[in-house]
Structure 1
């Protein structure tokens, strides 16, 4: 339980089932660890809300401190990628390494235990082999809140032990149930922060505490000098680049880490439109049974998202040498950056994901 309304309603729904319930709250970040003062104890409010809900539901709860695991498995690797000019998605690795990794390992001590969360996702089961039912990760009923993107790298073995009690509900329905059940978190506002950080209003300012400035030049696609930047990690491909003195609005087209240059272009420039991406560290949820068509000349027809906040787009996927996959978009896409996670679906069924290592654009 996180202290939010989603996990609170998930817990309440499970009280209606024949389960022996207990709750666990995961502490993963505390600014007091950095500052050494009593300011910044955001997790304490969450923990208080978890205890209030559990008291109402009459289920035991405990707190597990996984901040060290967060630091080493999620935060430090993400820092390294930001420093290299990449655009990582820590929430994907957070779910794989922490929530359904370290936390699941810590919480589940016997075979007949499951970890239920408030994620907006659904599990269906393939029963072609009656002796070995396999979990299939499906989108939630609420497409706007769907979180299968973030769960796309969780292994099948971990999904086998997961429950998503609110996956069949929409967010308004969850809110309505929370009010009906008089849960203390019914009116709590929604957290939109990054998994390991929480809600930090000025993210670049936050990262600057860990990544030193590395000034470089801002250039156009012809190499013309337009200004200076303070660090490639402060920019995302596709975002507007504020350059004093320019009358034409420019956007980040790419980052040249070797030269420490930020390359910008006007909004209609071909360098902003990508036709395909190359993806490594690929994870099929059914790792032993990838779709055979990825090795065919025509490839695997599927849909893909390269960001959580986007609609899926049609694509074709090909397996290349060295464990790399090529994903070709049906139409050119903007805002595509190395480091992002590309997640693929067959209809509503999430097949897996990988990390973008290179892009092919119109120029």
Structure 2
């Protein structure tokens, strides 16, 4: 089996949920006995230049007839002119993390073009894998795909020690690429209205995907005079990232769009409550404790006033903090492991080849 990945999948300066998912699934498939030949293709996906398209075409042409080729949707979905002809002789499986047209900030004509390209690619695939039930339903409705062609394989999580936090309230952590879709600008606006309360916020994530947005975000922080309280640390992995989680009292994910939200389960695996926007898949990812209580706070998306209200409730209500922290620790024991993710993916791939 061939697994075609974006070229930045191993670049530690641009870690992302999609890259982590791809890497963990690839390792899990190999551990499950499915030989995996990984190929990372550099390019400005999903709108690559001619060289990137030529490289992708070379990889596909070299694949034997009938070979199963799993391709990250970021690579596959924008180039049907490359994918569709080869899908007639290989078994193409497309892994969609985010429908292309759902990326925040696209011009309408660009979104429409990407949507049409994605539709053509997915209709040519033997199977489509989405990372959440919400995403699967979105793809089926948006592209008219038969239900038996779309499968759901949600991300797993790793066991982790309980995070001790800082003082139980004031240390906020946002782990996400610094892009408009992740909504850090909303977080800055919300926190600026809470300057009279004790808090500090660390925003961890790549800052090179959208440098113009990052610059606007820095200017927004300076305009509100909260430079010393909000830090953009850039990407962190390994021990530095673990240290950030260990110090966190609350993880905040103010996304405008989110087809799963792996940061939520990474926080819950450490017993950290989450304040997130109630957008797309995030309510399902957050889930509930066995008694139905939420392990965090959900607020309307793209609304800095609602986000500020949720943060104010967290910072000022000790009983609320205790309640959601207890729910987060219950939810911690309910999370599926990455082994289960790999097993489900392997089952789909085996069925596709039979």
Q: TM-score range by the shorter chain?
A: under 0.3
TM-score when scaled to structure 1?
Answer: 0.27
Bigger share in helix? 2
TM-score when scaled to structure 2?
Answer: 0.27
